[in-house]
Homo-oligomer: A and B are copies of this chain.
Amino acid sequence: MKQVTIYDIAKEAKVSVATVSRVLNGTAPVKISTRAKIEALIQKHQFQPNAMARSLLSKETGIIGVILPDLTNPFFPEVFAGAEKEAQESGHTFLLCNTMGDYAKESEYLNIMQEKRVDGILFIGGRINLKECEPDLVQEMVEHAKKIPMVLINGNLRDTELTRVATDEYAGTMLAMRHLIELGHKRIGFIGGESHMTTTSNKLRAFRKSLRDAGLPVREDWILPDSFSMESGKQQMENLLEKKDRPTAVCCVNDFTAIGAIKTAIEHGLKVPDDMSIVGFDDIPLAHHVIPELTTVSQQASELGRTAMKVLRQLINKGKVKKLTSLEPQLAVRQSTAPAMMPSYSESFREISSG
């Protein structure tokens, strides 16, 4: 017979693990009716945690800490919502910390998570996305991970063995680029992303590789990294349109920059996708609410969160986990990409007119 756990009790009582823990440990008041329901279930299942289980139990708070960089970018709330959905079964509750990518705040919140005795930490963005992370910031993470199970989402810290769940961003950009190239585009630019972040360099590596593989030129003056905001997408599309010749397609670092880029292109009288195809990355909910609907690489943000939470739970339960769980991205073809319009003609026309 499978042994009944605190999670089973929580699930059957439709309460969180934290509440069952409160009843078992008497650490805080619980509503009388809820307490009665839980006690009845403990009775029914003859749930008697042995000494070791009890000591484990009294340590468990049922709380997961989530450290993320920017709640105003809808990608992160989506990842979180996935983790939350996954945690419904196990009754975990969450404390979220928003760092604005500030490393000092990350340190602060890591300390708070430890003080507040969370059962595990999901960490996304900030220092784990740096191409070069300072050794003491790395060391701090390693130290915390020794004490609290931790999963890094879409990031990495070099020379550490921290557990990771990540979308294969390189493969995702390859999908987007192959799509553009198959549509006949030969003149492709790249917009957005901070250069010191791995997400940018991963995507740019794939961008360059796919062009070279197809025997197409890599036009460095059409590669315009900046940041991850809509404003950044607008600004860089402005810059791109000021050039004497321009690409017929643009690959953007994320959906936010793609949406900004589309808006500016349309404001300049271009038709998207007829005059210019634009592809994003992330597949935020907004992607199919804008006009034209955005062709983008789906990270399956919700699935990413779910998977990270699953892996974290295994870590908490001292299960065996892979060091890296990789998620395959998918291309969502919508309305912002179309075949290149007479590429040879427009190309030569532009070259003549700009020459």
Could you list which residues of chain A lie within 8 angstroms of chain B, going by C-beta atoms? 14-16, 18-19, 22, 27-31, 63, 71-72, 74, 77-78, 80-81, 84, 93-98, 100, 104-105, 107-109, 111-112, 114-116, 230, 259-260, 263, 266, 285-286, 289-291
**Complex alpha-carbon distance, A14 and B78, angstroms:** 32
What's the least CB distance linking A58 to chain B, in Å? 14
If A94-B98, A108-B18, A109-B93 touch, whether A260 touches B285 (CB-CB below 8 Å) is no
Q: Contacts A71-B80, A98-B96 hold; do A115 and B19 have CB atoms under 8 A apart?
A: no
Q: Which of the listed residues A15, A84, A97, A115 has the most CB atoms from chain B within 10 Å of its own CB?
A: A115
Q: Which residue of B lies closest to A81 (CB)?
A: B72
Docked-complex contact B98 and A80, CB < 8 angstroms:
yes
User: Cα distance A3–B71 when bound, in Å?
Assistant: 36
Cross-interface CB contact of A289 among B74, B77, B116, B263, cutoff 8 Å? B263
The smallest beta-carbon distance between A183 and chain B, in angstroms, is 23
> 19 A-B contacts, Cβ less than 8 Å apart?
A18-B111, A19-B111, A27-B115, A28-B111, A29-B111, A72-B74, A72-B81, A74-B74, A81-B98, A93-B97, A93-B108, A96-B96, A96-B97, A96-B98, A230-B289, A259-B289, A263-B289, A263-B291, A290-B291
Which chain B residues lie closer than 8 Å to A263 at the CB level? 289, 291
Do A72 and B115 have beta carbons less than 8 Å apart? no
| Most chain B beta-carbon contacts within 10 A, residue among A104, A105, A289 | A289
Count of identical protomers in the assembly: 2
What is the distance, in angstroms, from A66's C-beta to the closest C-beta of chain B? 9
In the complex, chain B residues whose CB is within 8 Å of the CB of A22: 111
| B residues near A111, Cβ cutoff 8 Å | 18-19, 22, 28-30
B96 touches A95 (CB 8 A): yes
Complex: A74 Cα to B289 Cα, angstroms: 14
B15, B72, B81: which contacts A77 (Cβ < 8 A)? B72
**A90 nearest CB across to chain B (Å):** 14
Contact B291 A291, beta carbon cutoff 8 Å: yes
User: In the complex the two chains form, is B95's CB within 8 Å of A95's CB?
Assistant: yes
Contact present for B72 and A16 (CB under 8 Å): no
Interface centre among A81, A116, A263 (most CB of B within 10 A): A116
Our pick among B15, B77, B112 for the contact of A93 (Cβ within 8 Å) is: B112
**How many Å lie between the Cα of A14 and that of B103 in the bound state?**
13
Q: How far is the CA of A105 from the CA of B104 in the complex (A)?
A: 31
The 9 residue pairs across chains A and B that have the minimum distance between CB atoms:
A96-B96, A71-B77, A95-B95, A72-B77, A116-B116, A230-B289, A28-B115, A16-B108, A93-B108
Residues of chain B within 8 A of A74, CB atoms compared: 72, 74
In the complex, which of the residues A109, A285, A291 has the most CB atoms of chain B within 10 Å of its own CB atom? A291
Question: Which residues from chain B contact A71 at a C-beta distance below 8 Å?
Answer: 71, 77, 80-81, 96
A275 to B78, CA, bound (A): 35
CA distance A15 to B286 in the complex (A): 36
Residue contact A63 to B112, C-beta cutoff 8 Å: yes
B289 touches A266 (CB 8 A): no
Kindly state the separation between the CA atoms of A94 and B98 in the bound complex, as whole angstroms: 8
Q: A18's contact among B84, B94, B96, B112, by CB below 8 Å, is which? A: B112
Bound complex: CA A286 to CA B289 (Å): 11
Task: Point out which of A14, A112, A266 has the most chain B C-beta atoms below 10 A from its C-beta.
Answer: A112
User: Which of chain B's residues has its CB closest to A115's CB?
Assistant: B28
Contact across chains for A285 and B115 when beta carbons are under 8 A apart = no
